[in-house]
């Protein structure tokens, strides 16, 4: 039984992962923005050992209090943190309207850092624990279809690399979940190709990746096939990349 807090618990991917944690008897504290959706996720868990809290994570002034409330709700210690919230936003708008670009950086990067600062300090004081964060393959190379969101996720991935090395000597594991496209409300309206997966198919792989890395954190591509694909995407020289319009175009 692990004491787990999930930030962004109403995400479709998080909800599928939460169901698996609940089924194996983990103790859960779920934090999300929408009270009705949060209640719906909690109701599927069928667990007495479950607490919830409502928060908009862009209210970063409250981040430390949210973390402390989670620690209290879980009985004084946290074994695992899963940070799942995110927003793909409106890429076209973000290219011309700074307020949308700033909003995407606040939701996908700054609000996560605001949580990670008190969480890392708490786990360091405990001398144990694991932090898992949902990042994205979109953060591996900027592309016109989602580069504002991708910039936030790429910066988040770098931030987690540094945090991983800071916490490694203390035995605290930081796991970066680099997810490929998933059929969720975030991608409603996107054309679905064969590389898309679903929350139900992805959740076991996420839980496995988190469990495997209890001792050693790193970056995991999920599903697995994104690791070789992204190796090619990242390493394609710029002149060739620009000629390959399926990569560099919208």
Ligand X SMILES: NC(=O)c1ccc[n+]([C@@H]2O[C@H](COP(=O)([O-])OP(=O)(O)OC[C@H]3O[C@@H](n4cnc5c(N)ncnc54)[C@H](OP(=O)(O)O)[C@@H]3O)[C@@H](O)[C@H]2O)c1
Task: Using CB under 6 A, list all residues that contact ligand X.
Answer: 8, 10-13, 32-34, 37, 56-58, 84-87, 107, 134, 136, 179, 181-182, 184-187
Q: Residue 48 Cβ, how far from ligand X at the closest point, in Å?
A: 24
Nearer to ligand X, 130 or 176 (CB): 176
**For ligand X, which is the closer residue by CB, 88 or 120?**
88
Q: Peptide bond preceding 223: is omega within 30 degrees of 0, i.e. cis?
A: yes
Nearer to ligand X, 60 or 128 (CB): 60
The distance of closest approach from Cβ of residue 35 to ligand X in the complex, given in angstroms and rounded to an integer, is 9
Query: Residue 49 and residue 120: Cα distance in Å, rounded?
Result: 24
Structure tokens at 198: 């679903």
| Residue with smaller CB distance to ligand X, 22 or 38 | 38
Smallest distance, Å, CB 239 to ligand X?
28
Please, what's the b/e burial string for 11-38 (b: 16 or more CB within 10 A of its CB; e: otherwise)?
bbbbbbbbbebbeeebbbbbbbbeeeeb
3-state helix, strand, coil in the chain (%, to 5): 55, 15, 30
To ligand X, the closest distance from the beta carbon of 8 in angstroms equals 5
| Residue number with the smallest Cβ distance to ligand X | 86
CA atoms within 13 A on the CB side of 152: 25
């Amino acid at each position: 039984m692990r004491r787990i807090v999930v930030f962004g618990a109403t995400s479709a991917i998080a909800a599928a992962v939460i169901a698996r944690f609940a089924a194996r008897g983990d103790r859960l504290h779920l934090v999300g923005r929408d009270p009705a959706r949060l209640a719906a996720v909690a109701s599927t868990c069928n667990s007495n050992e479950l607490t919830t809290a409502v928060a908009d994570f862009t209210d970063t002034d409250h981040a430390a209090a949210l973390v402390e409330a989670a620690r209290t709700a879980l009985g004084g210690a946290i074994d695992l943190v899963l940070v799942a919230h995110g927003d793909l936003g409106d890429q076209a708008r973000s290219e011309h309207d700074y307020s949308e670009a700033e909003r995407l950086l606040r939701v996908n990067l700054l609000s996560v850092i605001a949580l990670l600062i008190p969480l890392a300090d708490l786990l360091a004081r405990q001398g144990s624990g694991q932090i898992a964060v949902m990042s994205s393959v979109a953060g591996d190379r900027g592309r016109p279809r989602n580069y504002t969101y991708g910039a936030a996720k790429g910066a988040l991935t770098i931030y987690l690399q540094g945090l991983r090395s800071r916490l490694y000597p203390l035995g605290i594991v930081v796991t970066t979940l680099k997810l490929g496209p998933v059929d969720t409300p975030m991608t409603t309206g996107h054309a679905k190709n064969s590389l898309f997966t679903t929350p139900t198919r992805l959740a076991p792989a996420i839980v496995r990746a988190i469990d495997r890395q209890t001792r050693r954190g790193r970056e995991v591509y999920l599903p697995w096939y994104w690791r070789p694909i992204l190796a090619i995407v990242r390493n394609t020289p710029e002149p060739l990349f620009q000629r390959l319009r399926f990569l560099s175009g919208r």
